[in-house]
Structure 1
Amino acid sequence: MAAESSEVFNIGSSVSCVTCFDEEFQGEVLAFDPHVKLLTLKSASSSGRTSLYDIHMVNLTYAKAVHVLREAAASPLPTLPSLNLSKLSTRAKRSIDEKQRLIEAMQSGVSPIGQKLFLAICKTIEEVKWTGPNILVMGQVVISPPYLLENVREQKEGKEANGKTLSYIKKIVEKFHKDQQSISLNNGTGAAEVLTGTQ
């Protein structure tokens, strides 16, 4: 590699590179990793749109020539935004709880279709848990094996029954089975296998 500098490129410098394929790239240095000799350049978009840029990553090990056109002053790295630790902690706890619920389902012999339905409900409703092989949603609706639409009913001894909640959960279960049916048809699996949970 032919280089005018000591192989350290400051962010913001203008650099011109010729690769081993005789391609020439010129642009502003966005990043440089001296350990793997990877240079990232930003240049005006080849599409002509001023709101876009072309980004080129050049492995300097395979560059024929590198010329610094304009050296940028070394500046301290920008400060990174602080992390919201409470949000991260809540997200981690939720993820751990979800994994534990799935482990419980697998240990109690719940079918794969039941596990998939459980996950589908968890995407829209947080208050979902296993009670043996049954799925309990918001303490009000129970879905029992084989997890079909006719297996969705109100929980009698739970919270006060709410017809809207039951109808909403039924819509989720119905949509889940339609999606599973279309997936199985695309994959060549019979629809009956999906509906009976014997996948």
Structure 2
Amino acid sequence: MAESNECFNIGSTVTCKTCFNEDLQGEVLAFDPHVKLLTLKSPSSNGRSATYDIHMVNLSYVSQVTVMREAAGSPLPSLPSLNLSKLSNRAKKSIDEKQRLIEAMQSGVSPIGQKLFLHIRKTMEEVKWAGVSILVMGQVIISPPYQIENVKEQKEGKESNSKTLPYVKKLVDKFHQDQQSLSLNNGTSATPVVAEVQPVSQ
């Protein structure tokens, strides 16, 4: 086992001989002396110049470590400060959304309604439940059974935007086309094979 009580500076080049008698050489990306874990970066084995191989080496299974080039110890780069207010608002928004989804499920929203809600949320942020209906940007409401003909303008909603209604209809139409394709791929519409039975002569 290699002596691992030393410290490896980030950027140093080292060679490790593993218990399989294999030599690994690379640049030190990280070193944890507590668990004896050394992370090395070496040129890509597939020959691509834009990529690298990353090796995580447990020094407990290494017989020898040789420092080929020592990097000067440099202070770690300072981490960017976190915007705690923004993170808190994002967490609250996510919790509120999950709560609305739970409430919708408890209100008896069908699985297709839940899937459509999530589908719309991929492209539009301002989507929420209004009972068992889906309210988009406060302007368009989608009522059960969530088909394209159930997409209507919300009269008492925000100021109407002529582009929102047709866009939401396209999203709903695309969702149902995708669902139909999934059903076809799962074999639900496959033509049954019927075997013709001939009478057996005595």
Q: Which TM-score bucket, shorter chain as reference?
A: 0.7 to 0.9
Q: Give 1:121 deviation, angstroms.
A: 1.6
Count of paired positions: 190
Post-superposition Cα deviations, 1:145-189, rounded to whole Å, max 9, x if no partner, equal 111111112223334544432211110101111122222333345
Higher relative contact order (CA 8 A, sep 6+): 1
Unaligned runs of 5+ in 1: 191-199
Give the equivalent residue in structure 2 for 1:37. Answer: 36
Q: Aligned runs of 1:142-161 on 2, under 5 Å?
A: 142-161=141-160
Q: Which has the larger radius of gyration?
A: 2
Give the equivalent residue in structure 2 for 1:71. Answer: 70
Q: Higher helix proportion, which one?
A: 1
| Cα distance in 2, alignment partners of residues 168 and 141 from structure 1 | 10
Mark the CA change 1:159 to 1:45 in structure 2 (over 3 Å): closer, same or farther: closer
Please say which of residues 51-60 and 94-103 is displaced more in the overlay.
Answer: 51-60
Letter in 2 for 1:85: L
| Cα distance in 2, alignment partners of residues 90 and 174 from structure 1 | 33
Matched, 1:176 2:186: no
Matched, 1:86 2:85: yes
Mark the CA change 1:162 to 1:49 in structure 2 (over 3 Å): closer, same or farther: closer
Please say which of residues 167-176 and 130-139 is displaced more in the overlay.
Answer: 130-139
Mark the CA change 1:48 to 1:132 in structure 2 (over 3 Å): closer, same or farther: closer
Give the equivalent residue in structure 2 for 1:99. Answer: 98
Aligned CA-pair RMSD: 2.3
Q: Aligned runs of 1:183-198 on 2, under 5 Å?
A: 183-189=182-188
Q: TM-score, normalised by structure 1?
A: 0.83
| Cα distance in 2, alignment partners of residues 154 and 73 from structure 1 | 66
Percent identical pairs in the alignment equals: 77
| Cα distance in 2, alignment partners of residues 125 and 99 from structure 1 | 16
Mark the CA change 1:132 to 1:40 in structure 2 (over 3 Å): closer, same or farther: same
